[in-house]
Amino acid sequence: MPDIGNHITVLNTVDSSNNYAMQQVHAGMAVHGDVWFAMEQTAGKGQRGKVWNGAPGENILMSLTLETGKLGIAQQFRLSAAVAVAVWNFFSFHAGATTSIKWPNDLYWGDSKAGGILIENVIGEPSTVDRPCLTADNADNKALATSSTWKWSVVGIGININQNVFPEFLPNPISLSLITHQKYEMMELVKELCHCLQQQWELLINGYWETIYAAYNHHLYKKGHPVRLRKKNVVMPCTIRGVGHDGKLLIEEDDTVGFDFGEVNWEL
């Protein structure tokens, strides 16, 4: 199996690198570890239908394809956590230990957002066509777990690097350049990130899930701190205890409560 980043394609302009990578998967042209780096996205995708905004040529906007046939479909959170830890390792090397993973899969520095991850999966059921499923947003994944095959994942990663000015409607953006007061050569960083992703992928497929899980919780944003979570119209003051093996956010106030992806929003 090729290493992640063994083949990197630069796209000058694309609607979404995730869309492009998914098209390659469905056309039978994707290879495990292929990376597509976008200089500019006109319709970048974020979680729960949001748009990812980024200045052209100033940030990491990339997608990669992973052949996930060796992983069980119920292990989708494990891949999400492995990618998040890889992104943390990459960013913290340059920005320091103030870096954290905000559940489920945002990259934070202090209380500011530096990046995000969107994973889309190709789930194939016997005698049916493939269909994409969002790791963090699609509750139907559980129902598919007993009868489906997890074939591919398209991992989209957006990280603010050299951008210093952001749209006013973004509440709390930060970039690596704003943190370190340096400018970076983008392709060098892309290769660094691919190396970090390869390390975590090897841990995952070789059975070292507990190592990934421990790192994810160790770097979890606001762990042990009081926060406010909103569920529908109710705001709940609580303290973050960690994230369970199933990917649910756990709070200290009630050991029986765990929140699924998309079930609650942060009140920052």
pTM for the full predicted model: 0.88
Tokens at 139, concatenated: 């509750």
106 in any annotated domain: yes
Q: In what helix (H) or strand (E) does residue 60 lie, and over which residues does it extend?
A: strand 59-67
Together in a domain, 198 and 259: no
Q: What whole-number distance in Å separates Cα of residue 219 and Cα of residue 235?
A: 25
pLDDT on residue 143: 40
* The residue to which tokens 């694309």 are assigned: 14
E-state strands within 68-201: 99-102, 106-109, 112-124, 131-134, 149-160
Q: What is the pLDDT of residues 90-113, one digit of tens each?
A: 999 999 999 999 999 899 999 999
Domain that holds residue 237: 226-266
Q: What whole-number distance in Å separates Cα of residue 125 and Cα of residue 259?
A: 27
127 in any annotated domain: yes
Together in a domain, 56 and 96: yes
Q: What is the pLDDT of residues 61-73, one digit of tens each?
A: 999 999 999 998 8
* The residue to which tokens 């400018």 are assigned: 183
Q: What is the pLDDT of residues 165-216, one digit of tens each?
A: 998 888 899 999 999 999 999 999 999 999 999 999 999 999 999 999 999 9
Together in a domain, 241 and 199: no
Buried b (16+ CB within 10 A) or exposed e, 104-132: bbbbbbeebbbbbbbbbbbbbeeeeebeb
Q: What whole-number distance in Å separates Cα of residue 227 and Cα of residue 241?
A: 11
Together in a domain, 206 and 262: no
Q: What whole-number distance in Å separates Cα of residue 74 and Cα of residue 233?
A: 30
Helix (H, G, I), strand (E, B) or coil at 34: coil
Q: In what helix (H) or strand (E) does residue 235 lie, and over which residues does it extend?
A: strand 234-243
Together in a domain, 129 and 243: no
3 in any annotated domain: no
